[in-house]
Structure 1
Amino acid sequence: MRQKVWIAVALAKEAKALLLDEPTSGLDPHAASEFSELLRRAADQGVAVLTTTHDLFHAQQTATRVGIMKSGRLVDSLEGAQQIARIDLQSLYLQHMRA
């Protein structure tokens, strides 16, 4: 709930960017879905939304660009919601973590 409040404050102040660390952590599926929709609407209005997450399902459902990091380095990048939807993101992630 605190995440939602801070997002609302940022949007009320017409923030141009939102930087969020694990924004759906601790939310039940319904609240996570509502929160994701809030972020989607903000992005549709031109707000840049950058999130970090371990929730690959959430990333695949909401992202327009996904980067996979290992030891502080970007090791892979996917762009475009259609491309992201076609990829087995979990397998790709695990492939990079095993290398």
Structure 2
Amino acid sequence: MRQKVGIAIALSKKAKALLLDEPTSGLDPKAANEFSNILIELAQQKTAILMATHDIFRAKEIAHQIGILNAGNLVSQVEAASLTALELEELYLQTV
């Protein structure tokens, strides 16, 4: 519930940037899907979104750029459109 309230506050203030840490954690599949659609809409409206997540498939669905961290270091950065979800999963598994 805290995640939803935080997002609602950011939306009501028309934030220019969102910093999200595992934003779909604890959400049921329907709410996670709705949240993803909101993020896509915000990105189209030029809101900057930086999201840390272990959900690489949702990241692929939402992101323009994907970075993979290992021990706090950026070890890979790719354009989301340049990889399939399975290729992204393989890259993730290779780098961590």
What SS does the corresponding residue of 1:25 show, helix, strand or coil? Answer: coil
List runs of 5+ in structure 2 lacking aligned partners.
Answer: none
CA 1:62 to 1:53, structure 2 compared with 1: closer, same or farther past 3 Å?
same
Moved more, 23-32 or 2-11: 2-11
What SS does the corresponding residue of 2:83 show, helix, strand or coil? Answer: helix
**In structure 2, what is the Cα distance between the partners aligned to 1:88 and 1:77?**
13
What SS does the corresponding residue of 1:88 show, helix, strand or coil? Answer: helix
Q: RMSD in angstroms over aligned alpha carbons?
A: 1.5
For the Cα contact (< 8 Å) 1:66–1:84, is it kept in 2? no
**In structure 2, what is the Cα distance between the partners aligned to 1:9 and 1:95?**
38
Partner of 1:94: 93
What do the CA deviations read for 1:68-91 (whole angstroms, capped 9, x no partner)? 011111000012x42133661111
- Note the 1:4-83 alignment, pairs <5 A: 4-79=4-79, 81-83=80-82
What SS does the corresponding residue of 2:54 show, helix, strand or coil? Answer: coil
What SS does the corresponding residue of 2:5 show, helix, strand or coil? Answer: helix
The alignment's TM-score, normalised by the length of structure 1, stands at 0.86
Q: Percent identity?
A: 55
What SS does the corresponding residue of 1:8 show, helix, strand or coil? Answer: helix
For the Cα contact (< 8 Å) 1:19–1:50, is it kept in 2? yes
The alignment's TM-score, normalised by the length of structure 2, stands at 0.89
For the Cα contact (< 8 Å) 2:22–2:53, is it kept in 1? yes
**What is the aligned residue count?**
96
